[in-house]
């Protein structure tokens, strides 16, 4: 889901002047969530190098690899000792490369309209 265009977006943009319009509130929330997600994926990429090498895999395979890595990561976090060190446990995973040139396009015009309407609905609730 994309942020609103031509509306302040970056977290630093809101330090002095807080968001007022629903679009600004949505963009601020979007930017904050994006930062959290990027940090989480950085942690996963450190532990699971396969996550940095997936562009040639189909969307379904990429999704399954990410879910598996997150599950293993969460299991290790739960059962490792209390002083968790992400560099301590590095897991090497080999996945056979696959290509799917006939894979369907993920988002068409209808999906874009749906996502824009959903974004407007979320913005109205903020």
Distance CA 73, CA 67 (A): 10
Please tell me the predicted confidence (pLDDT) of residue 116. Answer: 87
Query: Is the separation of the CB atoms in 59 and 65 below 8 Å?
Result: no
- How high is the pLDDT of residue 95? 47
pLDDT of res. 47: 87
pLDDT in tens, the chain (126 residues): 788 888 888 888 888 888 888 999 898 899 889 999 898 888 888 888 888 877 788 888 889 988 999 899 888 888 876 444 545 555 554 544 444 455 455 567 888 888 888 889 999 988
DSSP 14-80: GSSS---SHHHHHHHHHHHHHHHHHHHHHHHHHH-GGGGS-TTS-HHHHHHHHHHHHHHHHHHHHHS
Which pLDDT belongs to residue 107? 63
pLDDT of residue 85: 53
């Amino acid at each position: 889901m994309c942020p609103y265009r031509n509306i302040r977006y970056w977290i630093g943009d809101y330090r002095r002047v807080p968001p007022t319009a629903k679009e600004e509130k949505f963009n601020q929330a979007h930017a904050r969530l994006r930062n959290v997600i990027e940090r989480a994926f950085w942690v996963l990429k450190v532990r699971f190098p396969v996550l940095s090498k997936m562009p040639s895999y189909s969307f379904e395979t990429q999704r399954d690899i990410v879910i598996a890595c997150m599950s293993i990561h969460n299991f290790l976090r739960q059962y490792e000792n209390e002083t968790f060190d992400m560099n301590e446990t590095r897991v090497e995973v080999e996945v056979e490369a696959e290509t799917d040139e006939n894979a369907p396009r993920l988002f068409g015009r209808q999906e874009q309209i749906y996502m824009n309407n959903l974004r407007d609905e979320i913005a109205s609730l903020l």
